[in-house]
C-alpha cells in the first residue's frame, strides 16, 4: 500500500496534538525532494521535522532500525533520551534553530502515527500470533528494541512542550493530572454457581472423595444451588470488596460483563439477562461504579457481533434504569485485529475500548498512557471510537505462559515501575484485575498496594 497524506490524517493529527498539548496547531506536510512536516504554534513559532517513509508502512518490519537520541539541557524526569524508531543512528544534532523556526531531525509525527495506529500489527503473519490469534509482544518493535516499558509517544510530546516553552514562555499547555483507571473483566462472577453439571460433579467428587474436604464440598453445593444471589462465601464474589477499596481511594471501578457466548470453551457460562446477574449490575450502578461490555471470544474480527453484544448490554441496563454518560469495555482474551475490532466498537455506539496491551507482557503497546481517538490506517479515516490503552493485566505477570513472576514483591515492583512512569508524565494508569483473581489474601494485598498513591 502506498501511503498518501490526506485531509483525514491532518485532521486526526491536529486532534491528537490538541488533546496532548491543549493548543491548536496548523500542521502541513511539505511534499518536496526532501519531504517534511511543518507545525505552526500560536502563529509565531514554526516547528518542522523530517519525514521517514518506513514509519508509515503497514505490517511488521523486522529490520526497522531504532536509535536513542540523547537530550541535552532538558528538564529530565526519568528519561534522558528519546526512543527513535526508523533511524539507525542518532543525528549529530537533534535541533536546528533559526529565528522563529526549529527543525527536528527526526520524524516524531511519523512515530505518533506508527504507534497509535498499530501499523506494525496490520496484516500480521500467523507466526507473529499466539494460539488466540493475538500479536505476540516478542515480535513487536518495542520489545525487540527494549522500550515496551516506556510511553514513547508521551515522552516525545513532553519534549516538544519543553522546546516550545523555551521559545514561547507565555504559552499555556493543558493541565493534565495523573489518574488511575481500574477495570474488571467479569469472566467468572462465581466459582461454582454457573458450572456445567459435569464440571460440578467432577469438582465436588475431587473435593469430597479425594481431598476429603467435607466442609468445602458442602460450600460448593450451597453456592451452586443458590438461585437468588451469588453467596458471600463464593471465592469469586469479590465485588463488594473491590468497590469498598475503590471507594476508599476515590476511584470508580468499571465492570465489564459478557453478553454473548460464541465459544463454549473460552467464553463464560453465565447468562447476562438473569435476576442473579441483573441484581449485581444494579448494585454496582447504585454504588456509583460503571458497567461495560466484554465481547465474546469469536467477536474480535466480526464487527457486527461486537455491536450486537454491546447493544444488548445497553438494552438490559435501560430496562434496569441504568444510565451512564459513557460506555466502554474490553475484548475477551484481549483478542484484537486492527482496524477490524475497532470498527466493531464504532458500530456498537460505545465511546471507548480498553483492550490494547500485550497479553504476554504488560507495558505501553500503543506508546502512550493516555486515551486517544483511533484511526484506520488502511482506509485512512478517523474512527468514531477512542482507545484507553491498557497498561497492566494482572494475569500477564504471574501466569506460567507469560512473565511467570513468582513473588509478591516482584509483581508489585513490576507494576509500580510502569505506574511511576505514568505518574511522571501526568498520564492515566489503566489496569485490569479480574474479580476471580482476588480470591486470596496475597492477591488482595498486591492489588491494594498498587492503588496507593
Cis check for the bond before 339: say yes or no (omega within 30 of 0): yes
Is residue 20 exposed (0-12), middle (13-18) or buried (19+ Cβ within 10 Å)? Answer: buried
pTM of the model: 0.95
Spatial separation of the C-alpha atoms in residues 440 and 213, rounded to whole Å = 18
| Residue among 3, 118, 196, 130 nearest 387 (CA) | 118
Could you tell me the mean pLDDT of each successive run of 10 residues in the chain, 453 residues long?
83 96 93 90 94 95 93 84 96 93 96 97 94 97 97 97 93 91 96 84 80 80 84 94 97 97 93 93 97 98 98 97 96 97 97 98 98 97 98 96 94 97 96 97 96 83
CA gap 152, 384 in Å, rounded: 24
Say what the pLDDT of residue 174 is.
Answer: 86
CB 20, CB 373: distance < 8 Å: no
Q: Residue 125: its pLDDT value, please?
A: 92
- pLDDT at site 374: 98
d(Cα 175, Cα 182) in Å, to the nearest integer? Answer: 22
- Identify the pLDDT of residue 1: 47
Q: What integer pLDDT is reported at residue 76 of this predicted model? A: 76
- Do residues 390 and 383 touch, judged by C-beta distance below 8 A? no
C-alpha triplet 205, 268, 180: angle, nearest 5°: 120
**Contacts of residue 32, Cβ cutoff 8 Å, sequence gap at least 6:** none
Give the cell for residue 48.
518542522
Strand order in the sheet with 95-98: 25-30, 36-41, 45-50, 101-104, 95-98
The helix (run of H) or strand (run of E) holding residue 50 is strand 45-50
The DSSP annotation for 172-203 comes to: -------EEEEEEEES-S-SSTT--HHHHHHH
Show the beta-strand stretches assigned E in 301-397: 328-329, 352-353, 372-376, 381-387, 392-393
Strand 372-376 with 381-387, pairing: antiparallel
User: What is the per-residue pLDDT for 2?
Assistant: 60
Cα dist from 249 to 252, 384, 452, whole Å? 9, 32, 8
Amino acid at each position: 500500500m502506498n501511503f498518501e497524506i490526506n485531509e483525514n490524517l491532518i485532521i486526526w493529527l491536529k486532534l491528537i496534538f490538541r488533546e496532548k498539548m491543549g493548543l491548536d496547531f496548523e500542521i502541513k506536510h511539505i511534499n518536496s525532494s526532501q519531504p517534511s512536516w511543518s507545525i505552526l504554534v500560536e502563529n509565531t513559532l514554526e516547528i518542522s521535522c523530517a519525514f521517514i517513509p518506513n514509519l508509515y508502512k503497514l505490517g511488521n518490519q523486522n529490520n526497522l532500525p531504532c536509535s536513542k537520541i540523547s537530550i541535552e539541557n532538558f528538564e529530565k524526569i526519568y528519561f534522558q533520551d528519546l526512543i527513535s524508531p526508523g533511524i539507525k543512528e542518532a543525528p549529530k544534532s537533534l535541533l536546528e534553530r533559526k529565528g522563529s523556526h526549529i527543525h527536528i531531525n527526526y520524524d516524531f509525527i511519523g512515530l505518533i502515527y506508527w504507534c497509535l495506529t498499530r501499523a506494525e500489527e496490520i496484516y500480521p503473519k500467523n507466526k507473529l500470533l499466539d494460539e488466540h490469534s493475538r500479536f505476540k509482544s516478542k515480535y513487536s518493535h518495542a520489545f525487540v528494541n527494549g522500550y515496551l516499558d516506556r510511553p514513547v509517544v508521551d515522552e516525545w510530546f513532553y519534549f516538544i512542550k519543553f522546546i516550545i516553552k523555551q521559545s514561547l514562555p507565555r504559552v499555556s499547555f493543558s493541565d493534565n493530572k495523573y489518574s488511575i483507571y481500574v477495570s474488571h473483566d467479569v469472566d467468572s462472577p462465581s466459582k461454582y454457581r454457573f458450572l456445567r453439571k459435569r464440571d460440578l460433579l467432577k469438582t465436588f467428587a475431587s473435593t469430597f472423595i479425594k481431598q476429603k474436604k467435607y466442609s468445602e464440598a458442602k460450600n460448593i453445593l450451597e453456592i451452586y444451588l443458590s438461585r437468588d444471589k451469588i453467596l458471600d462465601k463464593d471465592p469469586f464474589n469479590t465485588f463488594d470488596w473491590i468497590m469498598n477499596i475503590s471507594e476508599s481511594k476515590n476511584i470508580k471501578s468499571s465492570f465489564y460483563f459478557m453478553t454473548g457466548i460464541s465459544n463454549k470453551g473460552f467464553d463464560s457460562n453465565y447468562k447476562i439477562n438473569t435476576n442473579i446477574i441483573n441484581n449485581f449490575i444494579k448494585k454496582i450502578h447504585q454504588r456509583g461504579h460503571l458497567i461495560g461490555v466484554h465481547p465474546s471470544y469469536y467477536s474480535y474480527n466480526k464487527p457486527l457481533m461486537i455491536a450486537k453484544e454491546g447493544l444488548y448490554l445497553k438494552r438490559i441496563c435501560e430496562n434496569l434504569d441504568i444510565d451512564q454518560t459513557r460506555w466502554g469495555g474490553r475484548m475477551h482474551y484481549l483478542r484484537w485485529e486492527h482496524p477490524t475490532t475497532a470498527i466493531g466498537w464504532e458500530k456498537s455506539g460505545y465511546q471507548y475500548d480498553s483492550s490494547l496491551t500485550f497479553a504476554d507482557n504488560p507495558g505501553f503497546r500503543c506508546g502512550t498512557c493516555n486515551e486517544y481517538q483511533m484511526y484506520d490506517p488502511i482506509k485512512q479515516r478517523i474512527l468514531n471510537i477512542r482507545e484507553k490503552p491498557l497498561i497492566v493485566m494482572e494475569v500477564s505477570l504471574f501466569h506460567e505462559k507469560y512473565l511467570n513472576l513468582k513473588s509478591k514483591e516482584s509483581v508489585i515492583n513490576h507494576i509500580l515501575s510502569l505506574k511511576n512512569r505514568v505518574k511522571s508524565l501526568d498520564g492515566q494508569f489503566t489496569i485490569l484485575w479480574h474479580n476471580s483473581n482476588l480470591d486470596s489474601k496475597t492477591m488482595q494485598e498486591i492489588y491494594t498496594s498498587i492503588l496507593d498513591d
